């Protein structure tokens, strides 16, 4: 009797479960979104149809897969219907709330985005990316205390995380806590030197404190660090793996490559190409990537194939430019030329193609035609500073310096710190001895690029030449130039010599000695270095050192056949006390 009762209870329980599941499946089927239109994308159409059919069974994992596929391919209403259905059936699954938050964010619905993120972290307190997004929303809407709590929750999950530390630094700055802001930013930059946002905020902090040189340096470091990289988002990345829209794949591929995920970017370009073999964009993206990776032949073949296969969409000007570049890299001048001709036939008003064609015409000796191409590019895009620079070079080479300067001035009116224009203008001024005028171009360039070794070397070289030019007329200015040059490049031999000798002849011997020692260390085979240092040692009372250096210099001068210099060494040695 007892067994029979238990059997009835079990059967009743199973029946209840089956009834509940059937009811749930019916609800799911009733609320499934219709299939979106996919145009000519047969692959995506088939995948969506398969996912929709699987979801018809009522299985929630199948509904989730349909939602992922719709979300990844930007069928947003259909994806949202899936996430809302799943939230109703599985309210404790954090991902469904998070995906809904992403859709509401794209729709500009801030209130619902924040609410969905709050539900995400309530369901899963380890959802680090959701904590970060919540923190950002609260900070931007003027709730620093709530933002701080969310940043600290992320930091507890990911110790040392630069995004959370940056957020806490911004909050400290908002509260006027300069020391705490600096400490956090310095910690970030010590561990993540390429984190551009931290450099930019640190520059802002230094500027407010009046430390403009340090601010300039960190502005430059921020630019050099490149594109700001969003925090890793594994849940959204899981969606992106289901993208089968060729154009969106190209967009995702570019982002992946720009944020140092080159393999991921390449895979997305390759999938886009397989999905859309008659669309030139995937060929352009993948070909450009291969060219940057040094695979010029593979890039050339792919770019040419993309142009040949293009049907409804014309290849872009950049596509033809990249093909021409690949051909030049392979030392194929005629195909390189033809790529530009073909590109201009299709895009006659492309400034970039006109500029490249101008360079090609100039190389072929057709200077008038090249100048016309540059000028036309500038008519179409007055801010195209590279065309201004190319035109200026051509005008200089054809004996029209005034017009060249006008072209360079125009470039600077469009882009005040354009390095090529400022460097060329400075060179032109220095060639005619106008060193102060050269400085007007070089110093703004240094301010904009204070950490660039190349710019520092160039400005130090200008300081050396300006110092030498001022030696007789303005010795104080000469000394100032030498000191400023050494601040940029401490191991520049001639700057050490210039300042060292100036100090030596003005009886500041103790200050001259280390400079002349550096000159001698940098140019040990130069008799002049030995001559200057030997005299400095002698005037410092360091006679053994003076004899050693002067004797070595005498030997070098004699072996080099420098009779007059050797005579100077002998005279000085003869005057040294025994």
153-205 pLDDT, tens digit each:
999 999 999 999 999 999 999 999 999 999 999 999 999 999 999 999 999 99
**Shared domain check, 297 and 184:** no
What b/e string do you get for 95-116 counting C-beta neighbours within 10 Å, with b at 16 or more? bbbbbbbbbbbeeeeeeebbeb
pLDDT at 31 over 90: no
Q: Is the pLDDT of residue 85 over 90?
A: yes
Tell me, yes or no, whether 108 lies in a domain. Answer: yes
Span 61-65, mean pLDDT? 96
Residue 10 has pLDDT above 60, yes or no: no
Q: Are 212 and 269 found together in one domain?
A: no
| Predicted pLDDT of residue 223 | 93
Q: Give the number of other CB atoms < 10 A from CB of residue 472.
A: 8
**Could you give the C-alpha distances from 238 to 185, 232, 533, 537, in angstroms and in order?**
31, 11, 68, 71
Same domain assignment for residues 316 and 280? yes
* pLDDT for position 15: 57
Task: Please report the pLDDT score of residue 6 as a whole number.
Answer: 60
What whole-number distance in Å separates Cα of residue 267 and Cα of residue 271? 6
Q: Are residues 189 and 258 in the same domain?
A: no
CA dist., res. 316 & res. 307, Å (int):
9
Region of poorest pLDDT, from 37-46, 74-83, 166-175, 304-313 = 37-46
Nearest to 300 by CA among 279, 320, 276, 271: 320
- Predicted confidence at residue 11, as pLDDT, reads 53
Least confident stretch, 7-21, 45-59, 335-349 = 7-21
Quick one: how far is CA 75 from the chain centroid? Answer: 32
Q: At residue 226, does pLDDT exceed 80?
A: yes
Radius of gyration of the chain (CA): 35
For 259-316, where are the alpha helices, taking DSSP H only? 262-275, 280-292, 296-309
CB burial of 10-19 (b: ≥16 within 10 Å; e: otherwise) equals eeeeeeeeee
Residue 221 in contact with residue 237, Cβ under 8 Å? no
User: Coil, strand or helix: which one is 431?
Assistant: helix
> In this structure, are 268 and 152 located in the same domain?
no
Look up tokens 């970039």; give the residue. 352
Nearest to 456 by CA among 424, 491, 431: 491
Same domain, 82 and 215: yes
In eight-state DSSP terms, residue 568 is H
DSSP string for residues in 473-526: T-HHHHHHHHHHHHHH-TT-HHHHHHHHHHHHHTT-HHHHHHHHHHHHHH-TT-
**Closest residue by Cα to residue 456 from 439, 473, 442, 468:** 442
Q: Is the pLDDT of residue 574 over 70?
A: yes
- Could you count the other beta carbons within 10 Å of the beta carbon of residue 352? 20
Residues 162 and 270 occupy one common structural domain: no
Q: Where among 346, 377, 397 does a domain terminate?
A: 346
Same domain, 64 and 170: yes
Q: What is the pLDDT of residue 444?
A: 95
Residue 138 belongs to some domain of the structure: yes
Structural domain contains residue 94: yes
Query: Of 217-231, 379-393, 409-423, 457-471, which gets the smallest average pLDDT?
Result: 217-231
Q: What's the rounded mean pLDDT across residues 114-136?
A: 98
To the nearest 10°, the Cα dihedral for 379, 381, 385, 389?
-30
Query: How many angstroms separate the CA atoms of 427 and 511, rounded?
Result: 32
274 in the same domain as 174: no
Q: What pLDDT is attached to residue 14?
A: 52
Is 18's pLDDT higher than 90? no
- Mean pLDDT within 267-277: 96
Question: In terms of domains, do 129 and 68 share one?
Answer: yes
What CATH number is attached to the domain comprising 300?
1.25.40.10
175, 147 Cβ separation under 8 angstroms: no
Residue 60 lies in a domain: yes
Q: What is the pLDDT of residue 1?
A: 65
Instruction: Please report the pLDDT score of residue 229 as a whole number.
Output: 85
Closest C-alpha to 269, from 254, 302, 260, 239: 254
Res 508: pLDDT? 96
- Rounded to the nearest 10 degrees, the angle between the axes of helix 385-397 and helix 367-380 is 160
Report whether 513 contacts 537 (CB < 8 A).
yes
> 10-19, 94-103, 228-237: lowest mean pLDDT where?
10-19
387 and 421 Cβ atoms separated by less than 8 Å: no
Are 188 and 294 in a shared domain?
no
Rounded to an integer, what distance in angstroms lies between the CA atom of residue 482 and that of residue 376? 44
CB atoms within 10 A of CB 368: 10
Which of 323, 346, 369 is the last residue before a domain boundary? 346
Domain boundary among 346, 371, 393: 346
Q: End-to-end alpha-carbon separation of the chain, Å?
A: 129
CA-to-CA dists, residue 58 to 31, 36, 88, 111, 200, angstroms:
10, 19, 14, 31, 51
Lowest mean pLDDT of 49-58, 172-181, 224-233, 365-374, name the range.
224-233
Q: Same domain for 151 and 81?
A: yes
Burial 532-565 (b: 16+ CB within 10 A, else e): bbbbbbbeeeeeebbbebbebbbebbeeeebeeb
Whether 25 maps to a domain, the answer reads: yes
Q: Determine, yes or no, domain membership for 1.
A: no
Mean pLDDT of 301-319: 96
Whether 432 contacts 200, CB under 8 Å: no
| Tens digit of each residue's pLDDT (9 = 90 or more) over 530-570 | 999 999 999 999 999 999 999 999 999 999 999 999 999 99
C-alpha to C-alpha distance for 370 and 358, rounded to whole angstroms: 4
Which tokens sit at 518?
A: 């550096």
In 159-233, where does DSSP find H-type helix?
162-174, 178-191, 196-208, 212-224
- pLDDT tens per residue, range 491-500: 999 999 999 9
Q: 161: which DSSP letter?
A: -
Average per-residue pLDDT for the chain: 94
For the record, the structure tokens of 361 come out as: 């015409």
Query: Which residue carries 């171009």 as its tokens?
Result: 441
Q: Distance between CA 494 and CA 482 in Å, rounded? A: 9
Distance, CA of 468 to CA of 277 (rounded, Å) = 64
- Whether 393 is in a domain gets the answer no
**What is the largest distance, in Å, between two alpha-carbon atoms of the chain?**
131
Instruction: Return the DSSP state at 348.
Output: T
Domain count, the chain: 3
Structural domain range at position 200: 16-224
Residue 463 included in any domain: no
């Amino acid at each position: 009797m007892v067994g029979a009762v238990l059997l009835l209870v079990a059967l009743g329980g199973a029946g209840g479960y089956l009834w509940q599941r059937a009811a749930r499946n019916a609800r799911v089927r009733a609320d499934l979104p219709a299939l979106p239109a996919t145009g000519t994308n047969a692959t995506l159409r088939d995948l969506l149809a398969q996912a929709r059919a699987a979801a018809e069974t009522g299985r929630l994992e199948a509904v989730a897969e349909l939602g992922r596929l719709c979300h990844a391919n930007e069928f947003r209403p259909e994806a949202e219907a899936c996430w809302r259905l799943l939230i109703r059936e599985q309210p404790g699954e954090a991902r469904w709330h998070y995906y809904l938050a992403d859709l509401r964010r794209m729709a500009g619905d801030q209130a619902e985005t924040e609410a969905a993120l709050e539900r995400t972290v309530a369901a899963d307190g380890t959802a680090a990316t959701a904590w970060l997004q919540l923190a950002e929303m609260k900070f931007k809407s003027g709730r620093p205390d709530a933002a701080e709590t969310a940043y600290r929750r992320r930091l507890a999950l990911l110790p040392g995380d630069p995004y959370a530390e940056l957020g806490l630094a911004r909050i400290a700055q908002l509260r006027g806590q300069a020391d705490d802001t600096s400490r956090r930013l310095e910690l970030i930059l010590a561990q993540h030197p390429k984190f551009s946002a931290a450099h930019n905020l640190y520059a802002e902090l230094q500027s407010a404190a009046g430390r403009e040189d340090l601010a300039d340096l960190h502005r430059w470091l921020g630019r050099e660090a490149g594109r700001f990289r969003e925090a890793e988002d594994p849940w959204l990345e899981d969606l992106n793996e289901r993208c089968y829209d060729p154009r969106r794949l190209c967009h995702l591929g570019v982002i992946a490559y720009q944020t140092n995920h080159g393999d991921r970017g390449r895979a997305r370009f390759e999938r886009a190409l397989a999905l859309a073999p008659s669309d030139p964009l995937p060929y352009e993206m993948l070909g450009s990537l291969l060219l940057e990776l040094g695979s010029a032949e593979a890039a050339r073949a792919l770019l040419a194939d993309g142009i040949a296969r293009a049907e409804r969409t014309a290849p872009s000007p950049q596509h033809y430019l990249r093909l021409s570049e690949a051909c030049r890299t392979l030392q194929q001048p005629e195909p390189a030329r033809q790529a530009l001709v073909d590109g201009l036939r299709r895009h006659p008003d492309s400034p970039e193609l006109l500029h490249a064609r101008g360079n090609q015409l100039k190389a072929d000796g057709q200077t008038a035609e090249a100048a016309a191409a540059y000028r036309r590019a500038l008519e179409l895009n007055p801010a195209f500073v590279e065309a201004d620079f190319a035109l200026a070079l051509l005008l200089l080479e054809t004996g029209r310096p005034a017009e060249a300067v006008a072209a360079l001035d125009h470039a600077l009116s469009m882009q005040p710190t354009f390095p090529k224009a400022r460097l060329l203008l400075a060179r032109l001024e220095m060639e005619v001895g106008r060193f102060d005028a050269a400085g007007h171009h070089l110093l703004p360039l240094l301010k904009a690029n204070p950490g660039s070794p190349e710019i520092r070397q160039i400005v130090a070289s200008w300081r050396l030449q300006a110092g030498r030019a001022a030696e007789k007329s303005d010795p104080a200015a000469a000394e100032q130039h030498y000191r400023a040059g050494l601040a940029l490049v401490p191991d520049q031999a001639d700057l050490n010599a210039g300042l060292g000798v100036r100090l030596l002849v003005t009886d500041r011997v103790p200050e001259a000695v280390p400079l002349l020692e550096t000159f001698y260390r940098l140019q040990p085979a130069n008799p002049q270095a030995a001559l200057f240092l030997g005299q400095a040692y002698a005037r410092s009372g360091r006679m053994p050192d003076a004899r050693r250096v002067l004797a070595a210099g005498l030997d070098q001068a004699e072996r080099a056949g420098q009779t007059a210099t050797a005579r100077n060494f002998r005279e000085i040695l003869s005057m040294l006390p025994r």
